């Protein structure tokens, strides 16, 4: 096999590993052994360890990928001319790939510079989406970017009633209607702070 062939095979193995790792960690828990990931990916342990020396490295990579997808979803939302549809498109995309499924690892792994950079880019774009929707009068004024991030985190959990495939979509539609301006009820308490949110992961650089 030539160099290109080996590189292509390595890329395919990496993709299988990442997909398997996300599925194993989010269904079996983050204490699941890496051997379960290698088995699910159909690769040997040697292949896994050549790419990711530790479980922490694997989790860090998964976090970056999730945030990169958040960046892409926010960019797609901003490209939608209608501010409300753009915001909904962003939220639905993030819920669709379970953007917050890795949140439980917060505080258990080291946050890399790449993770901070990507997270801040994703937040900046989400802020733009939310500011645009608020300025258009379609998003209630008391909803913050972190409120929406935490909402998506909740919807990243397995949906109740697995035998009813539309349960999550029904609940998400209800939640989206609750975000519309002007809002029927006052939101209780102070909104979550950026310091608290980032503090779950560790000290920001």
| pLDDT tens digits, 91-145 | 999 998 888 888 888 888 999 999 999 999 999 999 999 999 999 999 999 999 9
Domain 56-199 falls in which CATH fold?
A: Tetracycline Repressor; domain 2 (1.10.357)
Residue 166 phi, psi (nearest 5) = -100, 5
| pLDDT tens digits, 15-61 | 889 999 988 988 888 888 889 999 998 888 888 888 899 999 999 99
Provide the CATH number for the domain formed by 1-53 in this structure.
Answer: 1.10.10
In the chain, residues under CATH classification 1.10.10 are 1-53
Q: CA 143 to CA 155: how far, in whole Å?
A: 17
| Strand, coil or helix: 182 | coil
* pLDDT value of position 184: 81
| Strand, coil or helix: 95 | helix
At residue 10, does pLDDT exceed 80? no
DSSP state of 161: -
Determine contact, residues 145/123, Cβ cutoff 8 Å: yes
Q: CA 201 to CA 151: how far, in whole Å?
A: 18
For the record, the structure tokens of 153 come out as: 């985190």
In the chain, residues under CATH classification 1.10.357.10 are 56-199
**What is the mean pLDDT of the segment spanning 78-84?**
97
Q: Taking phi first (over 0 means left), then psi (-120 to 50 degrees means alpha), and beta for anything else, what does residue 34 get?
A: alpha
């Amino acid at each position: 096999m030539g160099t290109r062939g080996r590189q292509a095979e390595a890329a395919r193995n990496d993709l299988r590993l990442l997909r398997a790792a996300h599925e194993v960690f989010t269904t079996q828990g983050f204490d699941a052994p890496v051997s379960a990931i290698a088995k699910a990916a159909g690769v040997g342990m040697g292949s896994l360890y050549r790419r990711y020396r530790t479980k922490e490295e694997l989790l860090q990579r998964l976090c970056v990928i999730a945030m990169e997808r958040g960046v892409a979803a926010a960019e797609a939302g901003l490209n939608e001319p209608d501010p409300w549809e753009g915001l909904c498109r962003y939220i639905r995309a993030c819920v669709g790939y379970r953007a917050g499924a890795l949140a439980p690892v917060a505080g258990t792994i080291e946050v890399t510079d790449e993770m901070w950079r990507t997270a801040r880019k994703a937040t900046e774009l989400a802020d733009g989406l939310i500011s645009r929707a608020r300025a258009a009068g379609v998003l209630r004024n008391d909803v913050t970017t972190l409120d929406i991030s935490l909402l998506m985190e909740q919807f990243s959990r397995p949906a109740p009633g697995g035998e009813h495939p539309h349960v999550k979509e029904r609940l998400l539609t209800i939640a989206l209607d609750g975000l519309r301006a002007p809002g029927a009820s006052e939101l209780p308490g102070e909104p979550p702070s950026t310091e608290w949110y980032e503090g779950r992961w560790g000290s920001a650089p």
